[in-house]
Amino acid sequence: MDFPIPLHSPILLAPMAGYTDSPFRRIARLFGAGMVFTELLSADGIVRQNKKTLDLLTITPHERPIGIQIFGNDPIIMQEAACRLLSHNPDCIDINCGCCAPKVCNSGKGAGLLKDVELLHRIASAVVRSVSIPVSAKIRLGFTTGTQNYMEVVDALQQAGVAFITVHGRTRDQYYSGKADWDKIAAIVQRAKVPIVGNGDIASYMDALNKLQTSGCSAVMIGRAALGNPWIFSGTTPTIKEKQTIIKLHYTHMHEQYGPYGIILMRKHIVHYLKGFTGASKLRQEIIKCETIEEIFGILDILCDKKA
């Protein structure tokens, strides 16, 4: 089934709160991610012009194609937010129906929408009507393991006119425990009339290709496994020197976007980049103490010299 957005690769970067900002999206695209997504953005925050929300809308040409993901539970606000986002020229607007964070879904947003399919249909319909670009939705199999209404949800979204649907193969109450159910994702593909993107437990490039083939999905989406490992999008294994180069590039992007505070924000990424390094814990502590990007680069240079 043709994907509504031209892709150089069917392996996409998933939206991840606190992680998929512009610097990380640029790194993912550099290594071949077919498409990237912003972290979930509050429709209310967009409409109210909340500075923290708007700051998350920094997009560079190097990130395209890009989808902007929004969440909310009011059709009118979601519609207005989608219209406001058009000034940023996204390639699609993605409706979040899968976030399992209590502060989101307990108010009927994110995965909370799975409990009210009629409201979800109204929201998706409103957004689709309001914009001329593709609208997508990211869902889970259901709110609980006992209420897996994914076929009903998919039907409602298709009727609303969405261009594609991403399915995370877990329910909301599973969070990220257990295993993603790719058999159910494959069953959705067989029934769906729009492209389906599969998501959940993809641990490597070859794993992504295998799940593409066995599920019949039009694309697959990688989330947590891409943290500290953008090479997952290219299927290559980096040398220590190559890892050093990309860590430096990521730090540079963070510093350019956030100033000195970018060094602090980078801490959550460096934890992932250093996994597997000899003495990773000690190295991480040394880097965390650094106050300048030059100090960090010095430590990385020493590390590479030792490994050479």
| Closest to 154 measured CA to CA, from 133, 131, 138, 132 | 138
Under 8 Å between Cβ of 211 and 220: yes
Which listed residue (83, 92, 97, 99) is catalytic?
99
Which residues face 13 on adjacent strands?
222
Annotated catalytic residue 92: no
What is the 3-state secondary structure of the chain? CCCCCCCCCCEEECCCCCCCCHHHHHHHHHCCCCCEECCCEEHHHHHCCCHHHHHCCCCCHHHCCEEEEEECCCHHHHHHHHHHHHHHCCCEEEEEECCCCHHHHCCCCHHHHHHCHHHHHHHHHHHHHHCCCCEEEEEECCCCCCCCCHHHHHHHHHHHCCCEEEEECCCHHHCCCCCCCHHHHHHHHHHCCCCEEEECCCCCHHHHHHHHHHHCCCEEEECHHHCCCHHHHCCCCCCHHHHHHHHHHHHHHHHHHHCCHHHHHCHHHHHHHCCCCCCHHHHHHHHHHCCCHHHHHHHHHHHHHHHC
Residues belonging to the active site: 99
